[in-house]
Amino acid sequence: MSTEPKLSKVEHAKRDSRGLRGGLAEAVAGGATRFVGEDPTLLKFHGIYEQYDRDAREKVENRTYNYMVRLAIPGGVLTADQYLAIDRLAEEHGGGTLRLTTRQGIQFHGLLLGELKPTLQALHRSLLTTLAACGDVRRNVMACPAPLTDPAHRTVQRVAAEIARELEPKSRAYAEIWLDGERLELSAEPEEPFYGTTYLPRKYKVGVALAGDNCIDLHAYDAGLVGLLGADGDVAEWNILSGGGLGITHGKSDTFARLASPIGSVPVAWGVAAIRAVAALYRDHGNREDRKHARLKYIVESWGVERFRQALAAELGHPVAPPRPVPPSNQEDHLGVHDQGDGRVFLGVFIENGRVIGPLRSGLAEVVRRFQPGVRLTAMQSLLLTDLDRSDLPAIQALLADHGIATVERLSTTRRWSMACPALPTCSLALTDAERALPAAISDLEAEFARLAIDDVPLTVRMTGCPNGCARPYNADLAFVGKKPGAYHVYVGGGLSGDRLADLFAVEVPADSFVDTLRPLLERYRDERHPGEALGDFWQRLAGHAPRTLLTGKEEALGERVLGLQLVEVAP
């Protein structure tokens, strides 16, 4: 009897794809209107998702398919010319809109199949790519976007770029299909010497940060490096984190969100190799039978930290010491004006839910054209204009104001740290709205927080249209996770530090009942909070249990039990 594991459908598609080629080239050259068979699966490795307008409620046979294109931008770093090229493509092929992601990338939605090739070629001419922005490979490598000129911040950005290059897929399929065989660097090495024919079991999210700085939400990813400073102010050593990931399945207790564990520490020179070694362990030991259990977090949880550290050292060929202690982290959103340390300043601009459209889009493009700043994307879906002369700030701020772009001083603490995923109508996994629903929910919460005079402390509020966690809801102070059309599970108890997960507070709450459901908690927060205490911190003190680092898809709702009363009844 065969002892070979039963591979999932996606594993077969990867293995049989001829290095991610499949029938993509034939569909592009033949003028098809959509991809068929397993080609939509392979598209993801090229940074493309097949979608359709779910608001249209069309029968399958009548659907018009379109495509989302995602850029991989390590550390979120763009030049002015690159940003303007992206802006032009948004007008030409993206329906006049672009979207900043929660992982320092940019997405276009609504492209037709015939628009894909010219779009990817235009991006290539601007030294940009969509390769590996999706798929079972390392995703966009994140890093603190602040353009600070101290050695440590420069090291973080440099290492993020090195990791991105080290783990970039080597298949020539992308160049052959989309770029007519062009490559920036021609290589004679075999295709995929690291990934092999089946790549990784699932996505591999990586970030690089400094101790005490959680501006990229590092604990939420598969792997990460935390820089510890030496006497010279530069990174001397890395703590390695592994095993994070926030996707769950509603009602399934064997699926879970998990924060990354501190695995060990290595000298600074071994950082990139350590992230590659973690990827190798994942490649060789990940679950390729069941994609719901294929993420790296399931290996780390099953093995435990000590076994994983030993396996990492063996794969790395270098000792891995226990992790070093680090100070508590906080999450800086980098909004407003900040000194860079080189005589110039940068300006952080709030982008609600990352959607750049209308006057916001035209205002940003005008600023970039006139003043030629660098552009950096944050993990909070906002944008930094960098390398500015302080003398230009009044003109820049006036131009932004003329386009209705809010300054940080005008933002409530509730709206400032809010995030949502795109969800409906584009995402095939969405159970309900997120990006379209969160602004109104924030307005309701703003009014209630102002009424109770509790709007003086930063508050992370996040919403997703399904439980997969793309907007990182489970480590927020307050989160709404889509359960079914118009209804959400409500979570409370995370926070800016990102180092604990929230508790399920209430289930299947309609969007117009958020405030009514939360009011008993908010009133107690008003009456019993400590000075400066955040809502998530207050909940943790009220709940009285150890902060959780793992949250399953089937949890007890704790709101009524912790508050000692029955929450408002909501209509089914």
Question: Catalytic residue positions?
Answer: 70, 139, 203, 205, 421, 427, 466, 470
Distances (CA, A) of 544 to 540, 547, 548: 6, 9, 11
DSSP 452-504: HT--SS---EEEESSTT-TT-GGGSSEEEEEEETTEEEEEE---TT--SBPEE
Distance (Å, rounded) from C-alpha 229 to C-alpha 248? 35
Distances (CA, A) of 62 to 51, 95, 114, 293, 426: 14, 22, 19, 34, 16
Task: Determine the Cα–Cα distance for residues 361 and 552; give it in Å rounded to an integer.
Answer: 39
Which among 101, 526, 499, 469 has a CA at the least distance from the CA of 491?
469
Helices (H), 16-100: 24-29, 39-43, 80-93
Neighbours of 389 (CB within 10 A): 12
Please count the other Cβ atoms lying within 10 Å of the Cβ belonging to residue 403. Answer: 16
Radius of gyration of the chain (CA): 23
Class of residue 14 by CB neighbours under 10 A (exposed 0-12, middle 13-18, buried 19+) = buried
The C-alpha atoms of residue 32 and residue 52 are separated, in whole angstroms, by: 16
Q: Taking a C-beta distance cutoff of 8 angstroms, is the pair 128, 87 a contact? A: no
State whether the Cα torsion 460-455-213-549 is positive or negative: negative
- List the structure tokens of 387: 């390398």
* Residue in 258, 218, 212 with CA at minimum distance from that of residue 235: 212
Q: Which residues contact 481 (CB under 8 A, 6 or more apart)?
A: 463, 464, 466, 467, 469, 473, 474, 488, 489, 490, 491
* Helix axis angle, 514-528 to 535-543, nearest 10°: 80
Whole-angstrom Cα distance, residue 106 to residue 72?
A: 8
Residue 193, preceding peptide bond in cis (omega within 30° of 0): no
Alpha-carbon distance of 3 to 380, in angstroms, equals 46
Please give the Cα distance from 396 to 398 (Å, whole number).
5
User: Which helix or strand (DSSP H or E) is residue 10 part of?
Assistant: helix 9-15
- Residues 242/298, Cβ–Cβ less than 8 Å: no
